[in-house]
Chain A
Amino acid sequence: MSQKTRMAPKPDPQSLSATAADSSAQVSIDPFFHILKFVPYSFLRPPRLRLKLPSFSLPSAMTVFSLILLTYFMVVSGFIYDVIVEPPGIGSTQDPATGAVRPVVFLSGRVNGQYIIEGLSSGFMFVLGGIGIVLLDLALDKNRARSIKVSYSIAGISSIVIAYVMTTLFIRIKIPGYLR
């Protein structure tokens, strides 16, 4: 057969057996096949199973994007800092006058330090701002009903505004001399 002369230069016996098995579907020259036909499977009967190898298909782009957004939220809220440095969830100071213990949300004094809760809330604000811009883009897509477009654009604009205002507020609380 002309196919065989144009095959791979060094055919190993398994590929040869595959070609032979394919070209003449009945008789196989595979020795292992013949051995196995005799030794266990002449008296053992394999059961009829309806198993299928799990087929592996690539997820869609938007699924991957949502996973990435989750990872981004974790990284940007200082998750690794939390795991290694193990700060408390929220700080506390003692009121000098009354002696009561008051919670302190923002770790002040250092730029590279945080409590867990402040990290998570800031990370949420960043992701909210990002989603706001995404919603704006979805609102400008032509193939939707007008009411949905309007609601997307309102949600997008309000998300961006809230996220920006809150983030500026947070950084002003944390770094007292900000922009002065």
Chain B
Amino acid sequence: MAAVANMPVSDLLKSFKLKTKQQELLIRVSILCLVYILAFITRLFSVLRYESMIHEFDPYFNYRTTLYLTQNGFYDFWNWFDYESWYPLGRIVGGTLYPGLMVTAALIYRILHFLRFAVHIREVCVLTAPFFASNTTLVAYFFGKEIWDTGAGLVAAILIAVCPGYISRSVAGSYDNEGVAIFALLFTFYLFVKAVNTGSLAWSLASAFGYFYMVSAWGGYVFIINLIPLYVLVLLITGRYSMRLYVAYNCMYVLGMLLAMQIRFVGFQHVQSGEHMAAMGVFFLMQVFYFLDWVKHMLSDTKLFQAFLRITVTCAVTVGTIALGLGMLSGYISPWTGRFYSLLDPTYAKDHIPIIASVSEHQPTAWSSFMFDFHILLFLFPAGLYFCFKRLSDATIFIVMYGLTSMYFAGVMVRLILVATPAVCLISAIAVSATVKNLTVLLRSKNKGVQTGSTKGSGSSKASSKALLDQSQPFQKNGAIALLFGAFYLLSKYATHCTWVTSEAYSSPSIVLAARGAHGSRVIFDDYREAYFWLRQNTPPDAKVMSWWDYGYQITAMGNRTVIVDNNTWNNTHIATVGRAMSSYEDEAIEIMRSLDVDYVLVVFGGVTGYSSDDINKFLWMVRIGGGVFPVIKEPDYLVNGEYRVDKGAAPKMLNCLMYKLCYYRFGEMLTEYGKPPGYDRARGVEIGNKDIKLEHLEEAFTTSNWIVRIYKVKPPNNRW
């Protein structure tokens, strides 16, 4: 009776028992769901520690434009002329930005409002990057599946979810183009590789639209439009030309180019700029290949065809070179711009373009930055390359090329580690997946051998031979288990490292500073926002603020006042004018400031708190940039024996220039550290030279509570009688 009663229960359980294929699907889906959630929550450190706010400098401009978009609609946004920045020049915003990020955030905002979630646009902006990071893990899974197999796809998704190289630019609050662009980059690459593998027109068109999204999102689309032609060229050289490749590349190039021209900032660059000519050249080369293939198909005589081949290739190459030469000579095809040329020749920016060289993100990469951002993946990358070379196919050739070119560029510029991250994660996933598969095959084949031995074992000879084999098999089985544990240990170390790096290094908002107090308590400096809010409340609405270009976006977004120069840095002469004003004596500077209608001057000073990214440390760049346009400013005037000093032994020009006076006004009476004389600069570690500073044409308007931001008002000219 009990057996009968138990039967329905066990039958019930049996009905729930899944087949192996369904079990595998369940495991895969649950892993992907967990990875999706993990990628999102690992980026939320700063939101939990501080508050939901926008970080850094550039995201404030993006936030301001998104705000404008949601308030005024797309047409006004696309045709917006901003008179509040770059006074008196203004900025054509619609034509000088990449709208992808703003449109995406506005779309998410509209969808949420449609579903009656009344969120503020700032929350949407803050959380856009983590949301797209989660989507990138899904794309990485499908891409890994395309290149290798589902196991590699899952590992790739996991690796990219926590990789610090990607997290650094996609934390919550980092509302910048890269957050969306990396998703678009990987998506376009996935669609293109899928198109090359299947030869289907639908996938090619999808990749063209993916490319359009990438062009709308980030200026780094130049990487795609150069990597894909290079990939096609490598396939042609290694003899892998096929109809699939022809269909994929032609559709993607033509439609992608037409779509890309819809973005005003890009305009006609696809036919006019030297950076895009590789794609066009390969496009024509593909037509030549197709033509030769067709002729070969028509002719049955191989010698005839060889002669024809030689002639056609020579003609094609000659015509192409002549066309390119004519284009470049006549000036129709513009040469490579400085930003991208400095990637090919890294010494170029140092000698010729100080603005590009001054940005800390543009420095070349040292080994520790690689280790910080990649950890274990640096071992797995060459191993993954080995596996790719063992099993060459169209897709693995692509990922190898993507990995190598992006690693080279990552070596040239620290910021481009971000572009290399998906490739490194995918190739490392291949290494992990292949190694683990080898080890588990070792495990499972040994089991099978033992089992068949036990079921079949009848004769003593068989038993003895099996016994001999059995001696090595458990050893190998144990070895395989030990190696699997080792792999698990390494991957868990990777996860620990990534979480630590995210928490300590990449989750700081930069606009709010934190430091450890005397007894280990955390001290928060919110001076920037204090100063911008003061500007917003206490200055006339049409006041013009002069500051160094770093703070321009934040002043317009939070202070809501007109600025002279901001982070767009599109006009070097204007920035040099500001740099000249900051490095001149007060009498010369006031002339420049009056010509620009400046009402307030804002400087950042770290002497009281020990904050090292202040304007005094950036001052030499102001001198260099100003001196690049106005030769009256000479860098050696501010140095003593080639050394940059602010104490008693500093150069007299340094001690009396406007920046020095504005930063150190009234600082001579300030006691900053116990046991040090008044006027001790904690960021430079010296006592300042000129303590008795008198300002003639400016007066102090506001200094924040920790002296980090100081605002001065330009006094109107004296009455004349």
Seen from chain A, the residues whose Cβ lies within 8 Å of a Cβ on chain B are 3, 6-8, 12, 14-15, 18-19, 22, 58, 61-62, 64-65, 68-69, 71-72, 75-81, 83-85, 111-114, 118-119, 122-123, 126-127, 129-134, 136-137, 140, 153, 157, 160, 163-164, 167, 170-171, 174-175, 177-179
Q: Are B414 and A112 in contact (CB under 8 A)?
A: yes
Contact of A15 among B311, B367, B407 (CB under 8 A): B311
Residues on the B chain within 8 Å of A133, using CB: 379-380, 382-383, 386, 431, 435
**CB-CB nearest in chain A for B237:** A58
Task: Give the complex CA separation of A171 and B505 in angstroms.
Answer: 15
Given the known A-B contacts A62-B389, A130-B379, are A22 and B366 also in contact in the complex, defined by CB atoms under 8 Å? Answer: no
Residues on the A chain within 8 Å of B404, using CB: 68, 71-72
Q: Are A77 and B367 in contact (CB under 8 A)?
A: yes
Given contacts A61-B390, A119-B367, A174-B368, 6 further A-B contacts (CB under 8 A): A15-B308, A22-B304, A75-B410, A81-B363, A126-B378, A126-B379
Task: Give the complex CA separation of A123 and B378 in angstroms.
Answer: 9
Q: Are A130 and B298 in contact (CB under 8 A)?
A: no
Contact of A179 among B365, B371, B490, B500 (CB under 8 A): B500
Residues on the A chain within 8 Å of B380, using CB: 130, 133
Contact with A along B399-425 (1 / 0, CB 8 A): 000001001101110100000000000
B483 to chain A, nearest CB (A): 7
Q: Are A113 and B366 in contact (CB under 8 A)?
A: yes
B492 to chain A, nearest CB (A): 13
Task: Give the complex CA separation of A170 and B380 in angstroms.
Answer: 18
B495 to chain A, nearest CB (A): 12
Contact of A8 among B295, B367, B372, B407 (CB under 8 A): B295
Contact of B381 among A22, A130, A136, A137 (CB under 8 A): A130
Q: Are A65 and B385 in contact (CB under 8 A)?
A: yes
**CB-CB nearest in chain A for B360:** A112
**CB-CB nearest in chain A for B387:** A137
Q: Are A76 and B496 in contact (CB under 8 A)?
A: no
Check if B456 is an interface residue, CB within 8 A of chain A.
no
A55 to chain B, nearest CB (A): 14
B389 to chain A, nearest CB (A): 5
Check if B301 is an interface residue, CB within 8 A of chain A.
yes
Check if B701 is an interface residue, CB within 8 A of chain A.
no
Q: Are B364 and A84 in contact (CB under 8 A)?
A: yes
Q: Are B490 and A164 in contact (CB under 8 A)?
A: yes
**CB-CB nearest in chain B for A149:** B476
Check if B20 is an interface residue, CB within 8 A of chain A.
no
Q: Are B386 and A78 in contact (CB under 8 A)?
A: no
Residues on the B chain within 8 Å of A68, using CB: 385, 404
Q: Are A6 and B367 in contact (CB under 8 A)?
A: no
Check if B510 is an interface residue, CB within 8 A of chain A.
no
Residues on the A chain within 8 Å of B448, using CB: none
Residue tally, chain B, CB below 8 Å to A: 61
Residues on the B chain within 8 Å of A171, using CB: 368, 371-372
Check if B392 is an interface residue, CB within 8 A of chain A.
yes
Given the known A-B contacts A84-B350, A179-B497, are A18 and B308 also in contact in the complex, defined by CB atoms under 8 Å? Answer: yes
Task: Give the complex CA separation of A36 and B5 in angstroms.
Answer: 106
B423 to chain A, nearest CB (A): 12
Residues on the B chain within 8 Å of A122, using CB: 367-368, 371
Number of A-B pairs, beta carbon distance below 8 Å: 163
In the complex, 9 of the A-B residue pairs with CB atoms within 8 angstroms, ordered by the A residue number, are A111-B372, A112-B363, A112-B414, A114-B366, A126-B379, A130-B381, A132-B379, A136-B435, A140-B442
Residues on the B chain within 8 Å of A79, using CB: 411
Task: Give the complex CA separation of A80 and B385 in angstroms.
Answer: 22
Q: Are A127 and B382 in contact (CB under 8 A)?
A: yes
Residues on the A chain within 8 Å of B410, using CB: 75
Contact with A along B490-502 (1 / 0, CB 8 A): 1000001100100
Task: Give the complex CA separation of A164 and B383 in angstroms.
Answer: 14
**CB-CB nearest in chain B for A126:** B378
**CB-CB nearest in chain B for A167:** B371
Q: Are A137 and B386 in contact (CB under 8 A)?
A: yes
A101 to chain B, nearest CB (A): 20
Task: Give the complex CA separation of A178 and B493 in angstroms.
Answer: 13
Residues on the A chain within 8 Å of B434, using CB: 137
Task: Give the complex CA separation of A62 and B364 in angstroms.
Answer: 30
Given the known A-B contacts A15-B307, A69-B382, A137-B438, are A78 and B299 also in contact in the complex, defined by CB atoms under 8 Å? Answer: no
**CB-CB nearest in chain B for A136:** B435
Q: Are B311 and A14 in contact (CB under 8 A)?
A: yes
Contact of A118 among B298, B367, B496 (CB under 8 A): B367
B247 to chain A, nearest CB (A): 23
User: Which of chain B's residues 425-455 have a Cβ closer than 8 Å to chain A?
Assistant: 431, 434-435, 438-439, 442
Residues on the A chain within 8 Å of B369, using CB: 111-112
Check if B347 is an interface residue, CB within 8 A of chain A.
yes
Q: Are B295 and A78 in contact (CB under 8 A)?
A: no
Max chain B C-beta neighbours (<10 A), residue from A12, A112, A118: A112
Residues on the A chain within 8 Å of B408, using CB: 71, 75
Check if B479 is an interface residue, CB within 8 A of chain A.
yes
Given the known A-B contacts A131-B382, A179-B496, are A80 and B346 also in contact in the complex, defined by CB atoms under 8 Å? Answer: yes
Residues on the A chain within 8 Å of B304, using CB: 18-19, 22
Q: Are A78 and B382 in contact (CB under 8 A)?
A: no
Contact of A58 among B238, B363, B365, B414 (CB under 8 A): B238
Task: Give the complex CA separation of A167 and B383 in angstroms.
Answer: 17
User: Which of chain B's residues 291-316 have a Cβ closer than 8 Å to chain A?
Assistant: 295, 298-301, 303-304, 307-308, 311
Task: Give the complex CA separation of A111 and B370 in angstroms.
Answer: 10
Residues on the B chain within 8 Å of A170, using CB: 371
Listed from nearest, the 5 A-B pairs whose CB atoms lie closest are: A130-B382, A129-B379, A133-B383, A114-B366, A81-B364
Task: Give the complex CA separation of A6 and B297 in angstroms.
Answer: 11
**CB-CB nearest in chain A for B299:** A3
Contact with A along B467-482 (1 / 0, CB 8 A): 0000000000001000
A88 to chain B, nearest CB (A): 14
Task: Give the complex CA separation of A112 and B382 in angstroms.
Answer: 23
Q: Are A76 and B383 in contact (CB under 8 A)?
A: no
Task: Give the complex CA separation of A131 and B387 in angstroms.
Answer: 12
Residues on the B chain within 8 Å of A15, using CB: 307-308, 311
Q: Are B392 and A61 in contact (CB under 8 A)?
A: yes
Task: Give the complex CA separation of A126 and B411 in angstroms.
Answer: 15
**CB-CB nearest in chain B for A177:** B504
Given the known A-B contacts A19-B304, A22-B303, A84-B346, are A112 and B365 also in contact in the complex, defined by CB atoms under 8 Å? Answer: yes
B14 to chain A, nearest CB (A): 38
Q: Are A134 and B383 in contact (CB under 8 A)?
A: yes
Max chain B C-beta neighbours (<10 A), residue from A62, A71, A140: A140
Q: Are A112 and B350 in contact (CB under 8 A)?
A: no
Q: Are B382 and A137 in contact (CB under 8 A)?
A: no
Q: Are B386 and A65 in contact (CB under 8 A)?
A: yes
**CB-CB nearest in chain A for B239:** A58
Residues on the A chain within 8 Å of B378, using CB: 76, 126, 129-130, 167
Max chain B C-beta neighbours (<10 A), residue from A69, A111, A131, A136: A111
B566 to chain A, nearest CB (A): 26
Residues on the A chain within 8 Å of B438, using CB: 136-137, 140
Contact of A65 among B298, B381, B389 (CB under 8 A): B389
Given the known A-B contacts A133-B435, A134-B386, A179-B497, are A164 and B368 also in contact in the complex, defined by CB atoms under 8 Å? Answer: no
**CB-CB nearest in chain B for A160:** B379
Task: Give the complex CA separation of A167 and B434 in angstroms.
Answer: 24
Task: Give the complex CA separation of A104 and B390 in angstroms.
Answer: 42
